[in-house]
C-alpha cells in the first residue's frame, strides 16, 4: 500500500511538473520565444531588421509582462521567431515557439494538437480582386485562378460555400500572405482568398491601393486567437487572465483602434476596419470556442 501511494504521489507530482512546463521554462531561462508573422495584416507583421509589430504582437508583449511579474523575474528577454501558416503548429508543438502571436484560426482540428487563448479577434474570410476585374461574387470565379497561402483553410472554405456549387477554379499557393497577394498584383491570380484584415493590410501596403477591392460574400466567420502548447493549463490560465484583464480595462479595444483604425507603419496608412459586432461580443464574453461553434445556427 505504501508503495502504491508513493507511486501515485510521484505520478501526480510528475503530472504537475509537465503541466507547468512553459512557465518553468520561462522562469528558468529568463527567455520566451514569440511566434510572429511576416505579413499577417495588422495582426502581426515585420518592420525589418528583426522587428515585428501588430495587434497580436502588442497583446502578447503585454501578456508576457504580466507573466514576468507573476514569475518574479527582474528581466524577461523576448525572442521573435518568424513562423508561416505551414510550420506554426509544429513549432509550437516541439517547443521552439512558446506563444504564437499571428493570425491563427481556432478550430476543432487544431485544438487536438495545440491550445488557444480566449478569442481576441473574429475574422471574416472574403475575396480580394483587382478593382477593374468585374468580379463581385463567388460564382464569378468560375474558370479563374484563385490564390491563397500554404497551410491556411481559406480555399477549402471557399469550395464548401453554398454559392461555390458548380464553380470550377484553379488554386495556386503562395508561401506566405505577401507572396499570395503578389500573385494577384502581377496578374498570376484573379483573386486572393483570405482573412479580410490580411487582405486589407496587403492592399494598404500596395503601390496603388485603389487598384484593389475586397468583394463577395463572407465565406466564413473565424475566431483568431493566440496559440500555445496543449495540456499546459497553468500557462493557459496565466495568458487568459492577462488578456481578460486587457478586455476589462478597455486596453484591448484601444490597441485594436491603434492597429486597425489609425495609420500604421510602414506606410502610415489605415486599414479602416472598426471592430466587428462578433469581435466586440468575444471581448464582452471571453471564450475559446472554436470556429465550428460560430457556424452553428
pLDDT in tens, 183-206: 999 999 999 999 998 999 899 889
Q: How far is CA 124 from CA 61, 136, 186, 217, 279, in A?
A: 25, 16, 25, 10, 10
pLDDT, averaged across the chain: 90
pLDDT given at position 2 = 38
pLDDT of 13 over the 60 cut = no
H-state helical runs in 20-144? 21-29, 55-70, 88-93
Residue 41 forms part of a structural domain: yes
Domain count, the chain: 2
pLDDT of 179 over the 80 cut = yes
pLDDT of 17 over the 80 cut = no
Residue 240 forms part of a structural domain: yes
Instruction: Indicate the pairing of strand 145-149 with strand 170-174.
Output: parallel
pLDDT given at position 19 = 52
Q: What does the pLDDT average to over 252-265?
A: 96
Beta strands in 97-169 (DSSP E): 99-100, 114-116, 121-130, 145-149
DSSP code string of 228-268: EESS-HHHHHHHHHHHHHHHHHTHHHHHHHHHHTS-BTTTT
pLDDT tens digits for range 60-91:
999 999 999 999 999 999 999 999 999 999 99
pLDDT given at position 68 = 98
**Do 102 and 159 have their domain in common?**
no
- Look at residues 165, 200, 221 and tell me which one is the last residue of a structural domain: 221
For residue 211, the enclosing domain spans: 123-221
Cell of 170: 484553379
pLDDT tens digits for range 111-137:
999 999 999 999 988 999 999 999 999
**Do 170 and 91 have their domain in common?**
no
Using CA atoms, how far apart are residues 95 and 229, in angstroms rounded to an integer? 8
How sure is the predictor about 154, in pLDDT bands with cuts at 50, 70 and 90? confident
Q: How far is CA 141 from CA 166, 168, 171, in A?
A: 10, 7, 11
Amino acid at each position: 500500500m505504501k508503495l502504491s501511494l508513493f507511486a501515485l504521489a510521484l505520478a501526480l507530482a510528475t503530472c504537475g511538473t509537465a503541466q507547468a512546463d512553459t512557465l518553468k521554462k520561462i522562469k528558468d531561462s529568463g527567455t520566451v520565444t514569440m511566434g510572429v508573422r511576416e505579413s499577417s495584416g495588422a495582426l502581426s507583421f515585420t518592420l525589418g531588421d528583426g522587428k515585428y509589430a501588430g495587434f497580436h504582437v502588442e497583446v502578447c508583449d503585454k501578456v508576457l509582462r504580466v507573466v514576468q511579474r507573476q514569475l518574479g523575474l527582474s528581466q524577461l528577454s523576448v525572442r521573435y521567431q518568424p513562423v508561416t501558416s505551414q510550420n506554426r503548429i509544429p513549432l509550437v508543438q516541439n517547443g521552439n515557439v512558446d506563444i504564437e502571436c499571428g493570425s491563427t484560426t481556432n478550430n476543432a482540428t487544431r485544438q487536438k494538437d495545440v491550445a488557444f487563448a480566449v478569442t481576441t479577434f473574429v475574422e471574416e474570410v472574403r475575396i480580394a480582386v483587382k478593382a477593374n476585374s468585374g468580379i463581385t461574387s463567388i460564382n464569378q470565379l468560375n474558370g479563374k485562378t484563385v490564390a491563397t497561402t500554404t497551410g491556411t483553410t481559406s480555399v477549402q472554405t471557399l469550395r464548401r460555400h453554398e454559392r461555390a456549387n458548380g464553380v470550377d477554379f484553379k488554386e495556386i499557393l503562395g508561401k506566405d500572405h505577401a507572396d499570395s497577394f503578389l500573385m494577384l498584383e502581377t496578374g498570376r491570380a484573379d483573386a486572393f482568398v483570405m482573412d479580410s484584415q490580411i487582405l486589407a493590410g496587403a492592399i494598404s501596403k500596395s503601390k496603388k491601393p485603389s487598384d484593389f477591392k475586397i468583394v463577395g460574400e463572407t465565406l466564413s466567420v473565424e475566431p483568431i486567437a493566440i496559440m500555445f502548447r496543449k495540456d499546459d493549463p497553468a500557462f493557459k490560465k496565466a495568458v487568459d487572465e492577462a488578456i481578460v484583464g486587457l478586455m476589462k480595462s478597455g486596453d484591448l479595444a484601444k490597441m485594436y483602434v491603434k492597429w486597425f483604425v489609425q495609420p500604421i507603419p510602414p506606410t502610415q496608412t489605415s486599414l479602416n476596419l472598426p471592430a466587428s459586432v462578433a469581435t466586440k461580443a468575444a471581448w464582452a464574453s471571453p471564450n475559446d470556442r472554436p470556429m465550428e461553434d460560430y457556424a452553428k445556427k
